[in-house]
């Protein structure tokens, strides 16, 4: 059992608190995550057992795979990570939700001909496809309507190979609402009973850009992650957002007041595991994020990734903390204190495999407390176990 101090003594994990939350998750705390991608999928599925009020601020800058085709065709933010998180938070016990989940999880095969894929797509639009036909009304009508709008707007040469059906539905809604994501997310959150709040940090068509130590400039999130292309061979020196594909000029974009208000409502702010730059730091780049965090009186915790993060070539854990603080304080350098934006670093010294050394004394000198507790599940995997992490985070609120 571990005891630590925020403004009070807390027990981690607090079994009494957890039992109470399990009985009334609709009254659970507003735990806010800055994330993207799939690293929080398992945690999101688990946390709805304790709270229906978690907040997920998602990066809309994905530039790879089918997301790239949609962004190029419609000059829009990426919706893939938003779809992924909505489905992870959906309550599958509700009538029709498993059928929606099955449709949203479907991808068109990459080996089929263009004619065969278009024919299958039209069967979905007409409601004749088994995955659509199984969805009960009124959900089926909404899905068909969004697919119809996408179909009418789709460029003649649009490549459906590998396309996520869930993404096509969301893009249809985006087009129907004249380029606004919030009403689309609101509609589908209600349809599938999403147990939390999901929002993109910006509703802008921007590109993630990285300047490397070797002088190279990389434009596009998918070129940083090491998933679609070989990992970076040089350390990242700087990341920023740009409006053009050349990535020549950094965009000066401020978050909306509603995003600042969402951050202010948090009862715990979490900088979670995942791709360090493209999932976490990318969310902190818009002006106003750091200021909103500093103005929010709640615990703030960083959960470093275990194993190897291809984006952290030459960057160990201690430098990750420094980079995180640099971006969190960027809105007002010299005026935002570390304690305003980061209170805890959560690690598993026994089983965790972190890049570089862990200097606990240096971390404490920054004014940040190290919480060392079991995070890694038993077995060969080095991933953080959602069964261990969720109770710890909820105990900190």
Q: Quickly list DSSP for 227-259.
A: SSSPPPSS-EEEEEEESSTT--SB---BPPHHH
The pTM (predicted TM-score) of the whole model is: 0.95
Residues 269-279, mean pLDDT to the nearest whole number = 97
Point out which residues pair with 197 in neighbouring strands.
55
248 has pLDDT over 80 = no
81 has pLDDT over 80 = yes
What per-residue confidence (pLDDT) applies to 10? 67
93 has pLDDT over 60 = yes
Quote the DSSP letter at residue 9.
E
2-59+254-396 CATH pick, 1.10.1060, 3.20.20, 1.10.760, 3.40.50: 3.40.50
| Nearest in space to 201 (alpha carbons), one of 287, 264, 295, 267 | 287
User: Tokens 């607090």 correspond to what residue?
Assistant: 14
The pLDDT tens digits of the residues spanning 39-67 come to: 999 999 999 999 999 999 999 999 988 88
38 has pLDDT over 80 = yes
> Which residues belong to CATH 3.40.50 in the chain?
2-59+254-396
The pLDDT tens digits of the residues spanning 202-226 come to: 999 999 999 999 999 999 999 998 8
Residues 18-38, mean pLDDT to the nearest whole number = 95
What per-residue confidence (pLDDT) applies to 5? 41
């Amino acid at each position: 059992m571990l005891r630590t101090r925020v403004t009070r003594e807390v027990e981690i994990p607090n079994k009494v608190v957890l039992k109470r939350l399990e009985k009334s998750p609709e009254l659970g705390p507003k735990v806010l995550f800055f994330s993207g991608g799939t690293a929080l999928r398992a945690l999101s599925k688990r946390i709805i057992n304790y709270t229906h009020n978690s907040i997920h601020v998602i990066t809309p800058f994905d530039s790879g795979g089918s997301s790239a085709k949609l962004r190029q065709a419609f000059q829009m933010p990426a919706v893939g990570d938003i779809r992924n998180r909505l489905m992870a938070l959906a309550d599958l016990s509700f009538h029709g939700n498993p059928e929606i989940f099955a449709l949203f999880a479907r991808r068109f095969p990459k080996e089929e001909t263009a004619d065969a894929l278009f024919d299958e797509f039209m069967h979905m639009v007409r409601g004749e496809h088994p995955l659509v036909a199984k969805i009960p009304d009124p959900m089926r009508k909404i899905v068909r309507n969004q697919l119809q709008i996408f179909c009418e707007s789709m460029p003649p040469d649009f490549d459906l190979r590998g396309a996520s059906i869930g993404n096509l539905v969301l893009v249809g809604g985006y087009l129907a609402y004249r380029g606004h994501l919030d009403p689309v997310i609101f509609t589908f959150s209600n349809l599938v009973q999403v147990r939390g709040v999901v929002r993109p940090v910006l509703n802008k068509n921007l590109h993630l850009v990285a300047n490397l130590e070797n002088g190279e400039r990389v434009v596009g999130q998918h070129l940083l992650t090491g998933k679609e292309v070989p990992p970076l061979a040089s350390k990242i020196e700087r990341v920023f957002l740009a409006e053009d594909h050349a990535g020549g000029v950094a965009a000066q974009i401020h978050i909306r007041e509603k995003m600042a208000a969402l951050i202010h409502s948090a009862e715990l702010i979490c900088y979670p595991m995942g791709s360090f730059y493209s999932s976490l730091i990318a969310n902190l780049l818009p002006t106003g994020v750091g200021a909103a965090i500093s103005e929010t009186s709640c615990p703030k915790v960083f959960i470093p990734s275990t194993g190897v993060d291809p984006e952290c070539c030459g960057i160990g854990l201690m430098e990750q903390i420094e980079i995180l603080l640099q971006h969190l304080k960027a809105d007002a350098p010299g005026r935002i204190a570390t304690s305003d934006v980061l209170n805890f670093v959560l690690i598993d010294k026994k089983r965790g495999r972190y890049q570089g050394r862990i200097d606990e004394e240096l971390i404490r000198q920054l004014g940040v407390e190290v919480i060392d507790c079991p995070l890694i599940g038993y077995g060969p995997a080095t991933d953080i176990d959602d069964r261990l992490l969720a109770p710890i985070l909820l105990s900190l609120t």
